[in-house]
Structure 1
Amino acid sequence: MQRLTIDTAYLRDRLAELLGIPSPTGYTDSIVRHVSRELERLGLTYEITRRGVVRTKISGRRRKPARALVGHLDTLGAQVKQLKDNGRIELVPIGNWSARFAEGARATIFSEKGTYRGTILPPKASGHAFNDEVDTAPVGWQHVELRVDAMSRTRTDLLRLGIDVGDIVAIDPQPEFLENGFIVSRHLDNKAGTAAMLAAIKALADAQLEPEVDTYWLFTIAEEVGVGASSAFGEDVAAVVSIDNGVTAPGQNSDEFGVTIAMADQTGPFDYHLTRKLVRLARENDIRFQKDVFRYYRSDSAAALVAGHDVRTALITFGIDASHGYERIHMHALRSLAELMTAYVASPVEITRDVNEITTGLRGFTHQPMSRAEQKAALPPADDAGV
């Protein structure tokens, strides 16, 4: 198949819109509505679960073994832990991120009486008052507080404003799109992945491409807290490819250019056959790629396995610098990611046995390379060898 053209202007515009919608885990209704309306504009129908996972389907020539591509709409954020006597707010993080990257961030508090703006600061924030103590303050969520941009000098003032324990706090993304293709912002994880998914769907629609099998596109709402793609697949799905960020850092092989194919995360190796198929598709379609292994990372795919789904899983990513901080990516990686998605959707099913979750006998079961002697001893008869 000829590599499909990705509309990068569309991808960029969708990313800018997504970044403009606050969506910390637990506060995702608005972004669910936004993505659902965009799917409608792309000519697709969709379904929404009780809590807000969005699922759409591109019908194929066959119903199964169906495939699923999964990304998450939720981002990091914070929640009101306590109202302090000085009129400021103690926070706990939503998701796993360091208070080091919260210091100085602008934020929105969603209270029962409306929204308020504020800034996350250390208690000793003024160099004119505390001199070197500003530089020696420890790092941690117990060492920052949210200053509300309203008359709030006491705990009573905060209650009068309608702010209370448990209120959700969204962190401003502060996006910047550079002419050289770099994009700098908070929450590129995983709004950039969502934008790439939408761009891939658009490319498939523009090419009027009919997949061989039904392909589901899922947008989950709680990946940052570990729930991820634990439901909403449907019983026909046999393979799940997650779309998320790759870890561009010393000791990692991810890159801000090309697509990064993850071979494993902290839950273990991804499916041998599915990951190698993605590598082969990247090579065949001349899509720049690299492989990586993530040690402190889990994705929607991991959540699916932990939930008990017997599906093949893989993870393809865009390299991101300073993940869960003030992040940076490049449009080249997003385009490459979308290209690989379209190549996968257009590719034939090779493991036809996957049409059933459980089958009798070894016929059609997969093979993995071994030493020549071991392989010869283990191979089934020729009529059972194909996949």
Structure 2
Amino acid sequence: MSPRPLAIDLDYLRQVLVELLEIPSPSGRTDHVQQYVGERLSALGIGSTLTRRGALSACLPGPRATGADRAIVVHTDTIGGMVKRLKENGRLELKPIGTHSARFAEGAHVRIFTDDLDRVITGQVLPLKASGHRYNEGVDSQGIGWEQVEVRVDEPAEDIAGLRALGIDAGDFVAFLPNPTVTPHGYVKSRHLDDKAGVAAVLTAFKALVDAGVRPAVTAHLLVTVTEEIGHGASHGLDPDVAEIVSVDAAVVAPGQQSREDAATLAMGDGVGPFDYHLTRNLASIAAEHGVRLVRDVFDYYRSDVAAAVEAGAHARVALLGFGVDATHGHERTHLDGLRHLTQLLCLYLQSDLVFPEWDAEPEGDLADFPSLAVQPAGGEGPREGPIGIADAAGAAGADPHSRSAV
């Protein structure tokens, strides 16, 4: 059966997104948010398992055993901080978790998680020179960096002994509060949209299939990772039968980029390298055929879950779909329209077959049997499969016939 647009429960997407954002989950402290995702999947009738390292796996079975499955990968961990040192003035020095600038930490409200699980201490990140009445123009000349900020604790603590009396010590996690807001025009402003908006979109897509009684064309695995922000991502937890991996993550809205807050993004390459030629073009074809608003983009300073998967030896085609986010890893903003387009594209993709269902059913095959997309059909008609000779490929692509890029 051909893929068809499905009804998207936008109220569900919005509710799940806000609830995810309100759960602190800096990399290394993600048990609570994974429990939430598991409960959401269970409510849809989808079971899940957890790896030793905390990654969550779930599955929507397809109608047949193809010998090759697909996986959607998202992450629930966020950037954050860790107490590096107790300071003599009763404040805390921070070490960042993940890559983000202290410029956007200044003024942030935080939660400090001590070893006492029944107690959460709040605080706020301030520059060392925080008072204009004391430092005058010095507040503007102070440098930017993690050594230039400190956490003011919302408890009586004037020295190291006072901090220790509160149970605070080096290695305690510090979560930056998100302060989510959905505006009347559909903008979503919050810290940690990366990647909780992606998780919400994927859960909504799975819900759309369940609600419509539609089975995916190919068994679809969901992998929810918890260490993407520190580079480990989908380095483990993937089913060995997975032939296609699509990561869902924040797309960069900034000068020089094509990503938009109100559209889905197909990343063609990132800081690690290009994504799979055939899978990316197939996703673009699906979007074009069904009127999904999709833009293509290339990112410079970016890596995702699939980078870790490939580096760990995943033998699969990989791609990245995104939702446009302005001010990534800072004061982030996206739009519900972009999340809707992304969710619909995921629904269509899950209903479609693999790019090369017969070829990718096995991890390897004869070169002569390899199906090629060197000659792309016009009008978003999808991939044209079948063997193609070297001379034909060179003529069609205008490329060196001895270059692998010609096919």
TM-score of the alignment, normalized to the shorter chain, above 0.5: yes
1:308 aligned onto 2:313: yes
1:244 aligned onto 2:246: no
Instruction: Name the aligned partner's letter for residue 161 of structure 2.
Output: T
Q: Secondary structure at the match of 1:11?
A: helix
Deviation at 1:190, TM superposition (A): 0.5
Q: CA separation of 1:367/1:336 partners in 2, compared to 1, >3 Å: closer, same or farther?
A: closer
- Cα distance in 2 for residues equivalent to 1:251 and 1:154: 47
**Partner residue of 2:361?**
355
Deviation at 1:46, TM superposition (A): 0.8
Deviations 1:45-95 (CA, angstroms, capped at 9, x unpaired): 111111211111000022331000010000010001111111100001000
- Cα distance in 2 for residues equivalent to 1:195 and 1:81: 32
- Structure 1's consecutive aligned runs of 4 or more residues displaced over 3 angstroms after TM superposition are 364-367, 369-374, 376-379
What is the root-mean-square deviation of aligned Cα atoms in Å? 1.7
**Partner residue of 2:74?**
71
**Partner residue of 2:222?**
217
1:149 aligned onto 2:151: no
Deviations 1:201-248 (CA, angstroms, capped at 9, x unpaired): 110111111122210011110000001111111111010000001000
Deviation at 1:257, TM superposition (A): 1.1
Deviation at 1:135, TM superposition (A): 1.2
**Which stretch of the first structure deviates more once superposed, 236-245 or 343-352?**
343-352
Q: Percent same amino acid at aligned positions?
A: 46
- Cα distance in 1 for residues equivalent to 2:394 and 2:139: 69
- Cα distance in 2 for residues equivalent to 1:207 and 1:125: 55
Aligned mate of 1:334, from 312, 336, 339: 339
Deviation at 1:376, TM superposition (A): 5.7
- Cα distance in 2 for residues equivalent to 1:183 and 1:376: 46
**Partner residue of 2:15?**
13
- Cα distance in 1 for residues equivalent to 2:40 and 2:393: 53
**Partner residue of 1:25?**
27
**Partner residue of 1:383?**
none
Aligned mate of 1:55, from 54, 57, 74: 57
Q: Give me the TM-score of the superposition, normalised by structure 1.
A: 0.95
**Partner residue of 2:140?**
135
Deviation at 1:136, TM superposition (A): 1.1
1:101 aligned onto 2:118: no
- Cα distance in 1 for residues equivalent to 2:143 and 2:294: 40
**Partner residue of 1:375?**
392
- The unaligned stretches of length 5 or more in structure 2 are 377-387, 397-407
Q: CA separation of 1:161/1:231 partners in 2, compared to 1, >3 Å: closer, same or farther?
A: same
Q: Secondary structure at the match of 2:219?
A: strand
Given that 2:278 and 2:355 are in contact with CA atoms closer than 8 Å, whether structure 1 keeps it comes out as no
- Cα distance in 2 for residues equivalent to 1:227 and 1:135: 37
1:87 aligned onto 2:104: no
Deviations 1:345-365 (CA, angstroms, capped at 9, x unpaired): 001234121111122443144
Structure number having the greater strand percentage? 1
Q: CA separation of 1:359/1:19 partners in 2, compared to 1, >3 Å: closer, same or farther?
A: same
**Partner residue of 1:296?**
301
Deviation at 1:374, TM superposition (A): 3.5
Given that 2:282 and 2:355 are in contact with CA atoms closer than 8 Å, whether structure 1 keeps it comes out as no
**Partner residue of 1:39?**
41
- The unaligned stretches of length 5 or more in structure 1 are 380-387
**Partner residue of 1:174?**
179
Q: CA separation of 1:372/1:120 partners in 2, compared to 1, >3 Å: closer, same or farther?
A: same
Q: Secondary structure at the match of 2:189?
A: strand
Q: Secondary structure at the match of 1:60?
A: coil
- Cα distance in 2 for residues equivalent to 1:93 and 1:69: 28
- Cα distance in 2 for residues equivalent to 1:286 and 1:369: 23
Given that 1:78 and 1:168 are in contact with CA atoms closer than 8 Å, whether structure 2 keeps it comes out as yes
- Cα distance in 1 for residues equivalent to 2:131 and 2:58: 51
Given that 1:369 and 1:375 are in contact with CA atoms closer than 8 Å, whether structure 2 keeps it comes out as no
**Which stretch of the first structure deviates more once superposed, 361-370 or 268-277?**
361-370
Q: Secondary structure at the match of 1:275?
A: helix
**Partner residue of 1:159?**
164
Q: CA separation of 1:271/1:200 partners in 2, compared to 1, >3 Å: closer, same or farther?
A: same
Instruction: Name the aligned partner's letter for residue 136 of structure 1.
Output: S
Instruction: Name the aligned partner's letter for residue 154 of structure 2.
Output: D
- Cα distance in 2 for residues equivalent to 1:298 and 1:210: 31
- Cα distance in 2 for residues equivalent to 1:362 and 1:149: 68
Deviations 1:274-328 (CA, angstroms, capped at 9, x unpaired): 0000000000111011000000000011111111111100000000000000101
Given that 2:375 and 2:393 are in contact with CA atoms closer than 8 Å, whether structure 1 keeps it comes out as no
Instruction: Name the aligned partner's letter for residue 166 of structure 1.
Output: G
Deviation at 1:373, TM superposition (A): 8.5
Deviations 1:88-130 (CA, angstroms, capped at 9, x unpaired): 0000100000000000000000012332100000111011111
Q: Give me the TM-score of the superposition, normalised by structure 2.
A: 0.90
Instruction: Name the aligned partner's letter for residue 113 of structure 2.
Output: F
- Cα distance in 2 for residues equivalent to 1:300 and 1:361: 29
Q: CA separation of 1:99/1:5 partners in 2, compared to 1, >3 Å: closer, same or farther?
A: same
Note the 1:187-206 alignment, pairs <5 A.
Answer: 187-206=192-211
Deviation at 1:369, TM superposition (A): 4.5
Q: CA separation of 1:336/1:367 partners in 2, compared to 1, >3 Å: closer, same or farther?
A: closer
Deviation at 1:366, TM superposition (A): 3.4
- Cα distance in 2 for residues equivalent to 1:282 and 1:306: 29
